[in-house]
């Protein structure tokens, strides 16, 4: 490392429009000079989830604003940058395309290098930004659209050990929130309700615990919760506030139990493949902000002699800093993209493994 690098990161893969500036001086830890995020919660609240067309239009309206604010708060101008990093996928194609076109425009106007970043790599590399851990490490990437265990061996070297065969846990949290009419975003709403609930009242299933390996499944769990809600409404003509709290607590407990057991297996697999010095287990993505899941994984790591690395909450959900940092890591390896950089709806991190969720004309889903 011989040069100080300052990178602008742009993120617009779902419903958060974000930009950030990250700087790393030679021989020093990286610094997040600014991080600006505009969420779209109010725009999608009435629909019970993210509407792609609405999200895309909102990104177009906000991208130039977040970039301007990120530069201003960082105290830099475009000429101070070394490169522009942007999420090029995976995600809602309209939003991804808006971000890529914005980054291309800036790169064309300034002559700065352009770096297309995999959104999932942004999450997976965040522990190196926040905690400066060394490769290799095990990461549980758990969010609204993804759930997988990955060995991170380099900025673009990921090996999948296991993942979801159907839904992501974030999807499940959102679905339960809609069924209980809690509003969106679902994860924080369900977690808040669970704090006053009884996690033992409803015996929800723990899917795939009887199958070897560390793959996940959440579709059956969602169905079990829905049937419980339907039963309560049929028997009592409605769901009480305590019912809601107990359902959320029982559901969260089921997800946590599955996460812990699958993580235990993934840690064992990682330990067999790597040296004893590699004892970092990172958890990243929006669901990583859940306090119950974090606490359970921390206890697991303590008993397994692993160091749990959980980034600060503001860097768990989508943000521009993770894209800037991933771009910085890639820049140091010599990676550059041309103006032919394309927005991608699908883009698996481990391109060597067989896709878990199938593949179509647009490529592998995960």
Whole-number pLDDT of residue 233: 93
Higher pLDDT, 165 or 360: 165
Mean pLDDT score across all residues of the chain: 92
My answer on whether 204 and 310 are in the same domain is yes
My answer on whether 227 and 248 are in the same domain is yes
Pairing verdict, β 83-89 and 114-118: parallel
Q: Which domain holds residue 18?
A: 5-129+317-364
CATH code of residue 169: 3.30.420.40
Euclidean distance between CA atoms 212 and 232, whole angstroms: 34
My answer on whether 345 and 234 are in the same domain is no
Total tally of structural domains belonging to the chain: 2
My answer on whether 180 and 259 are in the same domain is yes
Q: Which pLDDT band holds residue 234 (cuts at 50, 70, 90)? A: very high
The Cα diameter of the chain in Å comes to 69
pLDDT at 358 over 60: no
My answer on whether 202 and 89 are in the same domain is no
pLDDT at 18 over 60: yes
Q: Which pLDDT band holds residue 361 (cuts at 50, 70, 90)? A: very low
My answer on whether 21 and 61 are in the same domain is yes
My answer on whether 27 and 124 are in the same domain is yes
My answer on whether 206 and 238 are in the same domain is yes
pLDDT at 218 over 60: yes
Whole-number pLDDT of residue 1: 52
My answer on whether 146 and 179 are in the same domain is yes
pLDDT at 362 over 50: no
* Least confident interval from 23-27, 169-173, 226-230: 23-27
My answer on whether 310 and 321 are in the same domain is no
Contacts of 119 (CB under 8 A, 6+ apart): 11, 13, 87, 89, 90, 91, 318, 323, 347
My answer on whether 269 and 357 are in the same domain is no
Q: What is the mean pLDDT of residues 282-293?
A: 89
Cα pseudo-dihedral 292, 321, 11, 215, rounded to 10: -40
| Residue range 24-68, pLDDT digits in tens | 987 778 999 999 999 988 888 778 778 999 999 999 999 999 999
My answer on whether 93 and 147 are in the same domain is no
pLDDT at 88 over 50: yes
């Amino acid at each position: 490392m011989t040069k100080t690098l300052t990178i602008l990161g742009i993120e617009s893969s779902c419903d958060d429009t974000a930009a950030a500036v990250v700087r790393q001086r030679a021989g020093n830890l990286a610094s997040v000079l600014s991080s600006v995020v505009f969420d779209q919660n109010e725009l999608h609240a009435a629909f019970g989830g993210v509407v792609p067309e609405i999200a895309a239009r909102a990104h177009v309206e906000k991208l130039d604003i977040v970039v301007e604010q990120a530069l201003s708060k960082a105290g830099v101008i475009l000429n101070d940058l070394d490169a522009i990093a942007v999420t090029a996928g995976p995600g809602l194609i309209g939003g991804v395309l808006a971000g890529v076109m914005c980054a291309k425009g800036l790169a064309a106007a300034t002559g700065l290098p352009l770096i297309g970043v995999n959104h999932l790599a942004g999450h997976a590399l965040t522990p190196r930004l926040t905690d400066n851990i060394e490769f290799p490490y095990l990461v549980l990437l758990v969010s609204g659209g993804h759930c997988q265990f990955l060995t991170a061996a380099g900025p673009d070297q990921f090996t999948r050990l296991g993942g979801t065969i159907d839904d992501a846990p974030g999807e499940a949290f959102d679905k339960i929130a809609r069924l209980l009419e809690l509003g969106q975003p679902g994860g924080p709403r369900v977690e808040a309700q669970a704090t006053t609930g009884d996690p033992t009242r409803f015996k929800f299933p723990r899917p795939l615990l009887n199958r070897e390996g560390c793959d996940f499944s959440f579709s059956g769990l969602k169905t079990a919760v829905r049937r419980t809600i339907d039963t309560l409404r049929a028997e009592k003509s409605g769901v009480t506030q305590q019912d809601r709290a107990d359902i959320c607590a029982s559901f969260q407990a089921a997800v946590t139990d599955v996460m812990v057991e699958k993580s235990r297996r993934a840690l064992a697999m990682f330990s067999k493949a790597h040296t004893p010095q590699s004892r970092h287990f990172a958890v990243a993505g929006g669901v990583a902000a859940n306090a119950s899941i974090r606490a359970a994984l921390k206890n697991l790591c303590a008993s397994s002699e692993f160091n749990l690395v959980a980034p600060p909450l503001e860097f768990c959900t989508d943000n521009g800093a993770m894209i800037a940092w991933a771009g910085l890591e890639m820049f140091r390896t010599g990676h550059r993209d041309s103006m032919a950089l394309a927005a991608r709806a699908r883009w698996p991190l481990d391109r060597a493994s067989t896709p878990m969720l199938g593949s179509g004309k647009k490529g592998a889903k995960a």
